[in-house]
């Protein structure tokens, strides 16, 4: 099997690769421009950025290595929610999300040499109504501060999620079923 490179510093993505049986992979994090045209829809945005990351990562890899890149974004009413700049920003985002549903989109690119495959996954997440004291207690854990949308579904942020439709792992940052099907097209079979 060809060497696999995860072009991401995300500990969650690293954990998910291990969970699906990819025990050995290199981590190489490229510098990539994450800008995108203003007229793109959410799924197109994450695909666009994922491809740009793969292009940047190609310079750090040999043509026979299989490179995985991903970009995850949270959207509320098609408006992007990034990582909070401070606790007040986290409270604003979490307040906007409570009692409503939002979308988490991840673009994934698998690249080997000149062969590039990009797809995206979309998951609808429904937050339960929460009061300000609960949101402030969650923010006090520090968990929201490095996460798009100000929450981590794999941690205490799960206490805010009432339900979701779609791939749970996509909300963590890597849709593993979609990735496994993409890798199969490159000769990497996980089952």
Residue positions annotated with a catalytic role:
71
3-state secondary structure of 67: strand
Q: d(Cα 95, Cα 160) in Å, to the nearest integer? A: 11
Q: Could you tell me the two tokens for 167?
A: 């791939």
Residue in the block written with tokens 């979609």: 178
Q: How many residues does the chain have?
A: 191
Largest CA distance in the chain: 52
Q: d(Cα 159, Cα 134) in Å, to the nearest integer? A: 10
Residue in the block written with tokens 């929610």: 81
């Amino acid at each position: 099997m060809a060497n696999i490179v995860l072009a991401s510093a995300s500990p969650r993505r690293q954990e998910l690769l291990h969970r699906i049986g990819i025990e050995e992979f290199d981590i190489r994090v490229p510098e990539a421009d994450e800008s995108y045209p203003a007229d793109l829809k959410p799924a197109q945005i994450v695909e666009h950025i994922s491809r740009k990351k793969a292009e940047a990562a190609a310079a750090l890899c040999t043509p026979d290595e299989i490179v995985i890149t991903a970009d995850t974004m949270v959207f509320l009413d098609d408006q992007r929610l990034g990582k909070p700049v401070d606790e007040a920003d986290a409270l604003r985002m979490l307040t906007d999300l409570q009692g409503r549903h939002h979308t988490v989109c991840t673009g994934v690119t698998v690249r080997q040499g000149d062969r590039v495959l990009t797809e995206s996954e979309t998951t609808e997440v429904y937050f339960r109504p929460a009061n300000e004291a609960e949101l402030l207690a969650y923010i006090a854990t520090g968990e929201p501060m490095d996460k798009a949308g100000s929450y981590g579904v794999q941690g205490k942020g799960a206490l805010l999620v009432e339900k979701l439709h779609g791939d749970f792992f996509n909300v963590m940052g890597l849709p593993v079923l979609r990735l496994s099907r993409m890798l199969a097209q490159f000769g990497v079979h996980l089952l």
